[in-house]
Structure formats: structure tokens, C-alpha cells
Amino acid sequence: MNFRHDLIIVGAGLAGLRAAVECADEDVGVVSKVLPTRSHSGAAQGGITASIGNEEEDRWEWHMFDTVKGSDYLADQDAVEVMVRDAPRAVYELEHMGVPFNRTRDGKIAQRTFGGHTRDYGEKPVKRACYAADRTGRVVLDTLYDQCLRRGVKFYPEHYVLSLVFEDGRCGGVVSFDLSSGELDLLEAKAVLLATGGCGKIYETTSNGYASTGDGLDLAYQSCIPLEDMEFVQFHPTGLYPLGILVSEAARGEGGVLVNGLGERFMERYAPTVKDLAPRDIISRAILTEIKEGRGVDGKDFVHLDLTRLGEAKITERLWEITSFARIYLGIDPVHTPIPVLPTCHYIMGGIPTDMDGRVLIDEKGMAAKGLYAAGECACVSVHGANRLGCNSLLDVLVFGRRSGIAIKEEISKSEHQALSSEPLRLAKQKIAGLLAHEGSEKIDGIRRSMRSLMMEYCSIFRNENGLKKGLEEIGSLKERYNDINLQDKGRSFNYELMEAIELEHQLSICEAILLSALHRKESRGAHIREDYPERDDRQYLKHTLIFRNQKPEIRYKPVKITRFQPEERIY
Ligand SMILES: Cc1cc2nc3c(=O)[nH]c(=O)nc-3n(C[C@H](O)[C@H](O)[C@H](O)COP(=O)(O)OP(=O)(O)OC[C@H]3O[C@@H](n4cnc5c(N)ncnc54)[C@H](O)[C@@H]3O)c2cc1C
């Protein structure tokens, strides 16, 4: 079938929904492969940052400094400034839409400390994260979804986008697959916004939900759009051992501490000023160093997160959900027993390059694609550089989701619908038919497991040239095996095996982009630690990586925008 809207948004997480609210006066269609409220944004626990200073003095300049320093100086500072200055407005807007934030005694929005957020340019931790217990993402997602329904936004839930349609050099729609009926649809639009989230599921140990397979990143990459800074993959320090389920930084924000097998608060050695509230890259590396040097708990691959000092009342009020994960999955009660944790893949700092209004950039000179926008975790503005600070992602998705919405509204008011040919639909049908008909000898699950374990082994926190090259070779052979897959389910309705097969193709392509970008960055910065190049090298690598797919992947670079803060040594 053919459908037509002014704007198609791919993704119903916070970035997609915030843009939809902005454009709701126009005719907007939101396509999501999961039910909108099941998007990964709903799993966000800790909060959203803004220097509103409700609990103690705070300033946007301090927020900007922390974000830039946290990024290991790779963030574009003009974009960071726009984000942090807009943060208070973004939070009050959520409050007015009905988000039930926790409150201070005098009724203001409550705030808590979070890793890397400080006062006076690094003096000591500051309470900057606005939160709703440990369910912040859940309540913001539900609120924005309500706002969209109220404003008449049209949803296509459980519809899987297979391709972007470009005609006459302009993105004019998408082809999507209705998971319930198996029908293919051509959705025409004057503009398309990609808001498809992250790709954590390429790693074995991850905090990400099943839908975080990076489809949007690869849809852009396949359409000759480069990907920026893909080597920067964030590992969150505290995943529940051994599952990887997230224990939010809020646990440390509320006073929890990390302890090694000798009972030492080891972060005092790695970050004497902010200790357990250092940025994630620093803590994850410290945990792995403790384990590598034999100071894991009971000689095993984990350390302890100790919340016992917080007391039952505080844990129940502020950390109920995450402590319930420890009770359910590990059978331990964090009120009395420390939680075993290990770093878990959490977030991708890189993504589809955009300007500050979500326009997708197709080269290192800043040329914008026509009709195509990106926002949220799949986009790289770049405000997080080489390492994102906690609670800055919800801020990013809301600020730049809204800004994209404003820019799109302006564009669609000036442009006409273009009639699309039926060729993209035919190609998609052919692809699906080919996947269903192929009688190969490989199962997608086997290939996916190998991919996840090789990414853990060669491209997680510590990397080196040999490992990255091995990783690339192995991805190459997994791609060959992929050509010989055999799907068991040949049906049309809710054929998740078929969807997962397509997701896997995207994932393999993204793994290659990450490995190659990591191989070419011969320095250590933020989340990218090269054992063979342990120092940060500003002379050669204070620049953004761009990887182009072309016939053969090609790496190019573009400069970092530095406005207020010159790169310094990162001491916490
Ligand atoms: C466990 C966890 C806790 C977190 N806690 C915090 C926190 O406290 N504070 C903070 O700032 N950040 C946090 N983050 C990070 C933050 O939640 C995410 O970066 C952010 O929510 C991403 O939002 P998004 O809108 O870009 O994508 P998502 O919320 O991931 O949504 C992606 C959407 O794209 C759709 N989609 C994808 N591919 C397709 C396709 N092919 N076809 C159709 N639809 C598609 C999906 O259906 C989904 O609707 C957390 C992340 C995790 C995993």
C-alpha cells in the first residue's frame, strides 16, 4: 500500500516523539518496529541534566565545561553550548507536559549528583540530574506519547523500515514492512527523520534492549551517508554481573560506592576528587584494571557496588526498580548485600553526522542531505565526543529532537510532495522473497553469537591493532556465512526471524564501521583505549572520524569545533 504524510519519523523513542510533538500541526506519521512505549528510552533510569540549581548553585557554563571535559575534548563546543543553555527550558517543558519528577521539600524539581557533573569547573560533584525515582525514561516516554496522541500524530506500530527512498537526490520516504500482516508499504513524505536509537546489541554484554540493533545507522550508511566517530562505544561501569542489565549511576549518585576484592574503595586512587562519580570511561577502565590485576571479588570478573550504607528507606524510595533487578535476577537484597557488577555496553557516541538542527551531513565540509534528518542516539551532533556524561543523553534527544522538528516544519512548509516510483517497493519485495526462499545451511543465531563475542573480545574497552584486524577478518567471514542463511519461519505474520535476519545484516555492517574507525584512530581518548597507543594525541587526532561505505570503506576526518575550552589533561 501507499501512504502519504508531510513528515515520516522512523522511531518512537524520546527523540522521535519530541520531534513529533513539535510538528504535530502538520501531517506526521511515526513508524516504530516495537510498540512506541517499548522503545529503549523507556528504560532510562537515572535522569536528565539541567543547571536549574534547585538543590545548590549551578550554572550552564559549568555544565558545558563538564560535558566538554567528559567528552575528552572531542565534542563540538558550539553544539554543547546550545544543548546546556536549552536544558532548563527542556526540563520545565516536560514538567508542564505532566512528567511527575521527584520533588524537594519545598516542591521544586529534585536533583541528584551524577558522574562527571561538577560545580566550579571540577571542584566537587553538583546535583544536576532531574529525576523521577529510577524510572525517568519511562515517565517521560509515556508523557510524550500521550502528548502525541492528544495532538493526532499517526502511529505505525510494529512496522519495520527496510529502506530509505531517495529520488532526484532527495529523501522522499521509506519502505516499511507491517510485522503483523507481512505487507510492504511505501510511505511518502516531504521529509524523513531517523530517530532509531543505538546499537548496543552488537555486544554480548549490554544494557540495551532487543530493539537496539542500529538499523537507522546502517540505513544511512547504505545510502552513501558517512558515519561519524563510530569507534567511541560507551561501556557503563555497573552492569549486573553476569547479565549486563544496568544498575544506574543514580545508585552512586545517591551514595553507593565501588569496592574491590580487598574491600578497598579503589576509585579513590583513580579519581581522588570525585571518586565514584568520575565519568564512565574512567570508572569502567578502573574496574577492568582492578580485575586484571587480581583484585576482583573472590578472584572473579566483577567488583562490588555497595549500597548497604544507604539504608532501606532511601533505597526503596529512590532506587526501587534497579534494586529489584538484583533481587529478581541474582536473588540478593542490596539493602544488606553488595551487588556484583561489571562494565556493560551502553551507548554509542558516534552516529549519523548532523548539524544542530538535525540536518544529515553527507561530507566533511558540512553539505546537507535533502529531505533527511536524524536525532537522538543514532545521530552525532556531536555533543558527547569520545565519552558521554550520564543523563546528558535524555537532554540531547529532547533538545535536538525539538530543534529537528522546528527545522523540518520550516522545510515542509516550503516544499511539495514528489511522486515516488514503485521501484523501491519492488526491490524490497525481492529482498524479502529472496531471504524467505533461500535454502542455506547457516542459522542467524550462530552468526549473531559469534559477532557479539568477537566485538567483546576485540573491540570493547581495551583495543589494539592485532585484535582489531582479527575482528575485521572475522566480521568478513561472518558476512560470507550470512549469505548462506536459512530461515526456519517462512510465514508472513509476525515473522521475527525474518526481521532479525535483516537486523543482523545491519549489525554486521556497523561492526565493520566501528572496527575500522577504531583501527585508524591511533591514540587513546575517552571510551576508545588503544593498548598500543596509550596516550591522547591532540596533535594528530583532535578530529572527528568519518567513515564512508563507498565500494570499499574509506576513512576521512573533519575538525572539532572548539570555542570556550582548550583541551587539557583530564584529572578528576
Ligand atoms: C538501560 C538504559 C538506561 C539509560 N538511562 C539513561 C538516563 O538515565 N539518562 C540519560 O540521559 N540517558 C540514559 N540512557 C540513554 C538513553 O536512554 C538513550 O540514549 C535514548 O533514550 C535514546 O533515545 P532515542 O529516541 O534516540 O532511541 P530509542 O529510545 O532507542 O528508540 C528507537 C526507536 O527506533 C525504532 N526503530 C529502530 N529501528 C527501526 C526500524 N528499522 N524500523 C522502524 N522503527 C525502528 C524503535 O522501534 C524505537 O521506537 C539509558 C540507556 C539505557 C539502555
Indicate the domain borders of the chain: 241-344, 423-559
With bands split at pLDDT 50, 70 and 90, how would you rate the model's confidence at 277? very high
pLDDT value of position 144: 98
For residue 561, what is the DSSP state?
P
Ligand 1 lined by 505 (C-beta under 6 Å): no
pLDDT value of position 512: 98
CATH assignment of 423-559? 1.20.58.100
Q: How far apart are CA 563 and CA 74, in angstroms?
A: 12
With bands split at pLDDT 50, 70 and 90, how would you rate the model's confidence at 474? very high
By most ligand atoms within 8 Å of CB, the mutation choice from 8, 41, 48, 111 for ligand 1 is 41
pLDDT value of position 322: 84
Distance 507 CA to ligand 1 centre (A): 16
Q: How far apart are CA 9 and CA 36, in angstroms?
A: 12
C-alpha cell at position 475: 566480521
- CA-proximal residue: ligand 1, atom 37 (nearest): 196
Distance 364 CA to ligand 1 centre (A): 27
Distance 540 CA to ligand 1 centre (A): 33
Q: How far apart are CA 80 and CA 28, in angstroms?
A: 29
Mean pLDDT of the chain: 96
pLDDT value of position 389: 97
Pairing of the two strands 7-10 and 28-32: parallel
With bands split at pLDDT 50, 70 and 90, how would you rate the model's confidence at 400? very high
Domains 241-344 and 423-559 agree in fold: no
Mean pLDDT for the stretch of residues 48-68: 98
- CA-proximal residue: ligand 1, atom 50 (nearest): 44
Q: How far apart are CA 288 and CA 303, in angstroms?
A: 9
With bands split at pLDDT 50, 70 and 90, how would you rate the model's confidence at 241? very high
Ligand 1 lined by 127 (C-beta under 6 Å): no
Mean pLDDT for the stretch of residues 353-382: 97
Instruction: Name the one residue in this structure whose C-alpha cell is 511515526.
Output: 30
Which residues carry out catalysis? 280
Ligand 1 atom with the smallest distance to the CA of 216 is 38
Mean pLDDT for the stretch of residues 524-552: 97
pLDDT value of position 132: 96
Ligand 1 lined by 30 (C-beta under 6 Å): no
pLDDT value of position 58: 98
Q: How many CB atoms lie within 10 A of CB 563?
A: 12
Mean pLDDT for the stretch of residues 521-526: 98
Residue 468 has pLDDT above 90, yes or no: yes
Ligand 1 atom with the smallest distance to the CA of 32 is 44
pLDDT value of position 318: 86
Mean pLDDT for the stretch of residues 428-440: 95
Three-state DSSP state, 285: helix
Helix, strand, coil % (nearest 5) of the chain?
40, 25, 40
Ligand 1 lined by 86 (C-beta under 6 Å): no
Residue 321 has pLDDT above 90, yes or no: no
Residue 36 has pLDDT above 90, yes or no: yes
Distance 168 CA to ligand 1 centre (A): 32
Mean pLDDT for the stretch of residues 137-163: 97
Cis-peptide into 460, omega within 30 deg? no
Distance 386 CA to ligand 1 centre (A): 19
User: Angle, nearest 10°, between helix axes 496-520 and 444-459?
Assistant: 20
Residues 6+ apart with CB under 8 A from 374: 193, 194, 195, 216, 220, 351, 352, 354, 358, 360, 404
The CATH topology of domain 241-344 is Flavocytochrome C3; Chain A, domain 1 (3.90.700)
Task: Give the whole-number percent of the chain exceeding pLDDT 90.
Answer: 95
